[in-house]
Amino acid sequence: MTALLTINQLSVNLQDKSILQDLQLTLAQGDILGLVGPSGCGKTTLLNVIAGFIEPSMGFINIDGVDIVSDSTFIAAEKRHVGMIFQDYALFPHLTVRENIAFGIAKLSAEQQAVQIDNLLNLLKLSEHGDKYIHQLSGGQQQRVAIARALAPQPKLLLLDEPFSNIDARLRTELMLEIRQLLKQFNTTAIFVTHNKDEVFTFADKMALMSQGKLLQLDSPAMICQKPNSWQVADFLQLGSWLPCRILDGKAHSALGEVALPKNTEIPQANHHQVLIKPQNLMLVSDAEANAYVEHISVTEQGYHYHLASISDEHDLHFDKLSFYSDQVLAIKQAVAIKVESDNLLLFAKEDIV
C-alpha cells in the first residue's frame, strides 16, 4: 500500500530535555494508528510535530509525497492539509453546529458548503441538531461535531488527541465503531493518542507503543499482543502476569516447577528472566503439592478471578498477583497446586524500570 505518512530520524529537544528520540514511522493511506504509552512518553508531542505546532530539532516528515519537514523545509501548520481534533474538541460555543462545520470550508461557495455540511450531518446522525449551539449537545454529539468539522476540508491526515476520554463508558465503544466506519468510508488516514489500550484494539489498524520519547513497537494490535518485542511492551499492555524463573541448561525453572519453553526460544542475556503467563496457561491440579496461595479474589463474568502468590521462600523466584480464572470456589490464603500449561509461552529479560 502507498505510504501517506513517512517519518524518519525525528527528534525533539525542549529546554535541554529530549522529548522524542530518532523516531521512524510509516503509515499507509487509509490506516488508523493508535499511539499509546504512559504519560509523558511523547505521544501528544509527536501529534503536535506532525500538525506543525512544534518544530522538531531534526528529522524528516513527508505527507502524501510532499516534504513538510526536512533540513531545509518547515511548512506551516495551516498549509499541511492536516486536521486536528483536540481533547476538549475546541468547538466554538458562539456558533451553531452548522457554523462550526463550515469554519474550515469558508472558501467554498455557499451552495457547496450547504451540500457538504448536510452530507456530514446526515452521516454523523446530527441532522436534527444543525441549528443548535454546542452547549445544547451531549458529549457524544459534540464529538461528532468535532469529527464533522475536521473532515469537512477533506484533510490528507486526521490527528486526534484522546478523542474518547470525555465520552461516557457505555457509549464509547459504539461511538468508536461508528467513527471508525466513517473514516474508512472517507478513506481517511488518522492517528489518535490514548492512554487506553482497549481503545486501540477497537479503533485502530496499527498500534505504536511509546516510552520516554522512543517508539518501542509498531504493528497491528493483534501481532503486538501475540509477539510483544520486549518486557516493557508486554508489561505496559498487561498481556499477562510475570513468572520469575532461572534458566539452567536451556530450561526455565520457577516456583511452579519447570516451565517448558517452545522450541527455538531465544534466551536473552540477562541476570533475571520472566515468563509471560496468561490466565489460560494456569491450571489447578489436585494430585500435587501446593506451590501457591490465593491473595485476592474478585468476581467477573469469566468466573472467579484470583491473584496468586508463591509459597516458595526463594527470593528470586517469588511471584505475586499471578492472574488466574476458575469456576472453582477458593478462599483467601488457601494453598493450591498450580501447573503451567506450556502453550506459546514467551520468555523475556526482566528490565529494571519503574
Q: What is the CATH number of the domain that holds 60?
A: 3.40.50.300
| 50 and 153 within one domain | yes
Q: Is residue 231 part of a domain?
A: no
| 82 and 219 within one domain | yes
DSSP code, position 135: G
- The CB density around residue 248, as the number of other CB atoms within 10 Å, is 9
| 307 and 258 within one domain | yes
Q: Is residue 318 part of a domain?
A: yes
pLDDT of residue 218: 97
Q: What is the mean pLDDT of residues 282-306?
A: 92
CB 146 within 8 A of CB 87: no
| 160 and 93 within one domain | yes
Q: Is residue 235 part of a domain?
A: no
Cα 273 to Cα 250: distance, rounded to the nearest angstrom: 12
| 216 and 84 within one domain | yes
Q: Is residue 17 part of a domain?
A: yes
Q: Is residue 303 part of a domain?
A: yes
Nine-digit cell string for 284: 489447578
Residue 221 in this model has a pLDDT that exceeds 70: yes
CB 155 within 8 A of CB 38: no
| 86 and 50 within one domain | yes
pTM recorded for the entire structure: 0.89
pLDDT of residue 10: 97
| 94 and 16 within one domain | yes
| 319 and 201 within one domain | no
Closest CA to 74 of 89, 107, 42, 52: 52
| 295 and 157 within one domain | no
pLDDT of residue 249: 81
Regarding predicted confidence, which is higher, 343 or 99?
99
Q: Give the confidence band of 261 by pLDDT, cuts at 50, 70, 90.
A: confident
Q: Give the confidence band of 287 by pLDDT, cuts at 50, 70, 90.
A: confident
Q: What is the mean pLDDT of residues 277-289?
A: 91
Residue 290 in this model has a pLDDT that exceeds 90: yes
Residue 271 in this model has a pLDDT that exceeds 90: no
Residue 350 in this model has a pLDDT that exceeds 90: no
pLDDT of residue 80: 94
Residue ending a domain, among 196, 226, 256, is 226
CB 191 within 8 A of CB 35: yes
> What is the percent of the chain where pLDDT is above 70?
99
Closest CA to 346 of 239, 209, 190: 239
Q: What is the mean pLDDT of residues 322-347?
A: 91
State the first-to-last Cα distance of the chain, in angstroms, to the nearest integer.
Answer: 38
Q: Is residue 354 part of a domain?
A: no
Domain count, the chain: 2
Residue 265 in this model has a pLDDT that exceeds 90: no
Q: Whole domain around residue 213: which residue ranges?
A: 3-226
CB 119 within 8 A of CB 186: no
**Residues in Cβ contact with 162 at an 8 Å cutoff, skipping those fewer than 6 apart:** 87, 192, 193, 194, 195
Residue ending a domain, among 191, 226, 261, is 226
| 76 and 199 within one domain | yes
| 33 and 111 within one domain | yes
pLDDT of residue 354: 35
pLDDT of residue 166: 78
| 305 and 178 within one domain | no
Residue 145 in this model has a pLDDT that exceeds 70: yes
Q: Is residue 162 part of a domain?
A: yes
State pLDDT tens for residues 166-189: 788 788 888 899 889 999 999 999
Residue ending a domain, among 192, 226, 260, is 226
Q: Is residue 232 part of a domain?
A: no
